[in-house]
Structure 1
């Protein structure tokens, strides 16, 4: 990914006032705020509002919750018990470096809350490891609703096997005029961001869009000569005022939980004193669908690594909900969520199978035949796409990260790997000799898919699958 070069000073929050900003352009909107005790804060109201309608939302007042761990969410506690050598980023040259937590806090307190033209360093602690005690409170205190939590009841990322699970829980620590550039959360996931600590009235200004505005944002960024999916452009208020879409603006303060809809483009600028936020992503079933159909093609175009293993996630979720549906009573009168989820997963998995099928699949070697450690961890060496089933490989032109074959025979997946889409677009290795490989026998995938269809039809006699049983009538 190209390293951004930012003007100096970048963005200064000096003189920023939310009311004045909102009044400065007709396309600026305020973000809805609800207190956590309000009936409108019930998760059955929140999730449709945020994930179906694509509206950003802030749930306030968590710092007044009786279980709020004030002693835990504290910078002095973090100094003793947090990551002692966090990686921090200088926002002027995008350089990352290690620093002791003591020195980092000292530097933040010595730094002016407002950027100036003569400074060449302003550090931001981005993607700092969340302390286990904080993770434990979030997961087990019962304060934050489970449906909004990482690996909670509404997070499909939990279905990935342990060796493929993705860590989405991170901490962000910075002084005023540090920021995260305009971006979308990965793979149409749903974002949650809780301000845990604030010093000297520190806050964060959020600029957000609705989910449906994502194509308009991408087109507008192209007019600016930028690519929103590369996360390299810090938009100004003036640029947002000229944008052909609505921008939702809010000031996040201590105890505010910001809910970021899937595909919402957003930028966060810290204001005033030190703030510490903890952030995590969830993947809903609709998020997986949106990622498969809309986000992954963009990642392929801009060569951005996928990270969240969308196809693999769909596969493992399909297996999970198949088992749940098989346990349902055949005469179940209602249509439980697990059954509806399985129907949607089968449809998505059919799309994946259609993209990976080949008439010569039975003659292809597959990784499961090879002495290799690759399980849910292959990706295209050109565009970064996650490899779920099919790929092309050269065992002569090794990627820079490869150490070569230790026993003289290179295991499948250890060579130069290209996804099918890159290969058909004309990309290849230096020698031009690549063989098609699959991760597992294709018949295994057909069997998994048909087992899901049988589970559905056992409970829902009216369900008609357009493709029948694919293992009996192969593609």
Structure 2
């Protein structure tokens, strides 16, 4: 078995001089900063355009400082929390043991200084130090209401109209038209607000930590925009008769454009999967990285805007840090989610809490109503709303195309209807299912627990042990979805006719878009695979063999040779085929057949050797194998001078999804637990070359992005609407907080809290 070395956790020392590290490390840079007071004097559109350009399009982190001057220090304090929420119990994360510990907020706050005292320049790297992090706890309602009065509404939580909010900058345009109900016809700051309240993900969270607590490197869920505001921290004064250390948080962040190189560096050099969010990288690992690292030392009043898909990790310092964080969904983040983030989350079975497809549907429905009431207004806000409406419509079209049946669609009576309430998730990958999916009529657990599988997972070979004969379920009448599509298309055509450019064309009908797709839809592939895949009697379950002999890196070559000699030469038994790549004999439904040469490739070989998912082969009516495309990298084809063997783009370390998926699940096509390290050894496993190739690709992409911004004349600053951005770096003083009295709240028995 080929093993990959894995970097171990190494804590940051409490005496770390992060400013010195930035000055002496070539690839370290301080993130850009602007002050809150400076942005208040410019029009809202200038601020929004600047954030869109810097954080979303260029993918760079941004820090807005100075919010501490406007926060209610009595409200945002440890004293207030202890007075009002001390008896509230939460799960504190014991980072060392990777387990939760139930305790009261008052008990935790009272003992933070004790936890901090355990971390010193001589003890900070001891493995048994207790690191208790109170993270992902609900934000108090009082804090929520107060922040709503301070944070510009353009980038605050669940904002439905950026024109609301007492602290928002004024617009440079006249007020946009309003609906009869008085609602402004304008884009939302957070598209999560389009969902019915019961369907929204509550992600306004608080994080309270002490010296040595941390958040491993990760990306924001579903490519959303992250906002993190430090509202309070210890200031070095005495509290409860004990000295405190000044609180702050060190952020190490990357840019969106370098995300592929960052992920590959994490895998190839550190031996961890970035998507799993389980590794806090050493400082030396960041210093040795081939990409730029943006550094922030966050103090009270600093709001950090995290770019979509940008990796970042956080280290807390001092006796106490308290932060409020939230995520926003925009049209740009939805496009990134459907292009990349959701597929990555599906591979590792990460919950999709944000219900992205539902957000698209409900936002289109809401925007459609606003645009109808705006009549033919040419107000700039209405024009921008029309543009976002069109982009969302394109995403919606792709969603419907993926769910379109073939001409031999199931009869209406064969499709079960379940009204959409946003509560059905895939039993394997745990993604939220918007409309059509497959369910097993036999695998029903206790409490009518059905086995539901999304179409993406079924195409991957994921399902219950029955494999086939699953039933179709839909949550919207298909005519309702297609009828909405046509209604919204007609709206786009109406406001496109008002454009002066006659070359601008509106979107095609769904039927025309389907005819131009040039590949099978996801639903069509599922229909086809259910005809090909065998049904396994749930009363007599058979073990479904997922891995081929070559997949088993632990098996020796002699045993594989014996298996080959038992077969009839190179001919596979009846009803089976032999994979050209790994030479294993498999059932035909587990193999992709070439249209031209009739060679077979198993889906595991295509995945690990050619970076191809099963869908990539299944969706093409006339699929050509790697050998016919002159890219085959098997041992024999590599000897052919006419071949240009495909070198796998990334390292796959393998991930055991069985630990997360429903216990009734099987993988019948691709064993995701296995890596491609053995194959990479044949190419020399040169990590440096692979990273350099990614660096060059991402540099080209960055240049194209900058050129596109230049072509669109996006040139915005915060000193005047047409100048270069002026970025200041003010020194933010720590908040001077009043003394804290002894905690009067009830506590749980503190005997379980081990400080040894």
Q: TM-score, normalising length from structure 2?
A: 0.57
Q: Is the 2:275–2:348 contact (alpha carbons within 8 Å) kept by the matching residues of 1?
A: yes
Partner of residue 76, structure 1: 79
Partner of residue 390, structure 1: 436
1:403 aligns with 2:408: no
Q: Is the 1:446–1:470 contact (alpha carbons within 8 Å) kept by the matching residues of 2?
A: no
1:353 to 380, 400, 404: 400
Structure with larger Rg: 2
Partner of residue 468, structure 1: 509
Give the distance between the partners of 2:49 and 2:152, measured in 1 at CA: 11
Partner of residue 553, structure 2: none
1:97 aligns with 2:143: no
Taking a change above 3 Å as real, the CA distance of residues 62 and 332 of structure 1, as seen in their structure-2 partners, is closer
Give the distance between the partners of 2:291 and 2:444, measured in 1 at CA: 45
Q: Is the 1:361–1:442 contact (alpha carbons within 8 Å) kept by the matching residues of 2?
A: no
> Cα distance, 1:48 vs. partner?
2.5
Q: Is the 2:348–2:429 contact (alpha carbons within 8 Å) kept by the matching residues of 1?
A: yes
Give the distance between the partners of 2:208 and 2:455, measured in 1 at CA: 40
Could you give the per-residue CA deviations for residues 363-391 of structure 1, whole angstroms, max 9, x where no partner exists?
Answer: 36556x45x7x511211111112211121
Q: Is the 1:329–1:459 contact (alpha carbons within 8 Å) kept by the matching residues of 2?
A: no
2:366 to 313, 316, 320: 320
Give the distance between the partners of 1:7 and 1:79, measured in 2 at CA: 37
Taking a change above 3 Å as real, the CA distance of residues 101 and 473 of structure 1, as seen in their structure-2 partners, is closer
For structure 2, list consecutive stretches of 5 or more residues without a partner in the other structure.
Answer: 1-5, 163-188, 237-245, 518-756
Taking a change above 3 Å as real, the CA distance of residues 431 and 146 of structure 1, as seen in their structure-2 partners, is same
Give the distance between the partners of 1:192 and 1:465, measured in 2 at CA: 36
1:428 aligns with 2:463: yes
Partner of residue 363, structure 1: 412
1:150 to 154, 157, 160: 157
Partner of residue 252, structure 2: 207
Partner of residue 451, structure 1: 487
Could you give the per-residue CA deviations for residues 322-356 of structure 1, whole angstroms, max 9, x where no partner exists?
Answer: 11122232364766121111110111111111111
Give the distance between the partners of 1:70 and 1:187, measured in 2 at CA: 34
2:60 to 52, 55, 68: 55
Partner of residue 132, structure 1: 141
SS of the residue corresponding to residue 219 of structure 1 reads: helix
Give the distance between the partners of 2:281 and 2:390, measured in 1 at CA: 41
Q: Is the 2:492–2:506 contact (alpha carbons within 8 Å) kept by the matching residues of 1?
A: no
2:232 to 197, 201, 215: 197
SS of the residue corresponding to residue 395 of structure 1 reads: strand
Taking a change above 3 Å as real, the CA distance of residues 148 and 382 of structure 1, as seen in their structure-2 partners, is same
> Cα distance, 1:298 vs. partner?
0.6
Taking a change above 3 Å as real, the CA distance of residues 260 and 319 of structure 1, as seen in their structure-2 partners, is same
Where in structure 1 do 4 or more consecutive aligned residues deviate above 6 Å? Answer: 471-475
1:226 to 257, 272, 275: 272
RMSD: 2.4
Give the distance between the partners of 2:354 and 2:379, measured in 1 at CA: 36
Partner of residue 387, structure 2: 340
Q: Is the 1:89–1:95 contact (alpha carbons within 8 Å) kept by the matching residues of 2?
A: yes
Q: Is the 1:364–1:438 contact (alpha carbons within 8 Å) kept by the matching residues of 2?
A: no
Deviates more, 1:93-102 or 1:76-85: 76-85
Give the distance between the partners of 2:415 and 2:78, measured in 1 at CA: 51
SS of the residue corresponding to residue 428 of structure 1 reads: strand
For structure 1, list consecutive stretches of 5 or more residues without a partner in the other structure.
Answer: 405-413
> Cα distance, 1:469 vs. partner?
5.7
Q: Is the 1:391–1:436 contact (alpha carbons within 8 Å) kept by the matching residues of 2?
A: yes
Partner of residue 37, structure 1: 37
SS of the residue corresponding to residue 92 of structure 2 reads: strand
Deviates more, 1:199-208 or 1:103-112: 103-112
Could you give the per-residue CA deviations for residues 117-137 of structure 1, whole angstroms, max 9, x where no partner exists?
Answer: 163422000111111100111
SS of the residue corresponding to residue 46 of structure 1 reads: helix
SS of the residue corresponding to residue 423 of structure 1 reads: helix
Number of equivalenced pairs: 452
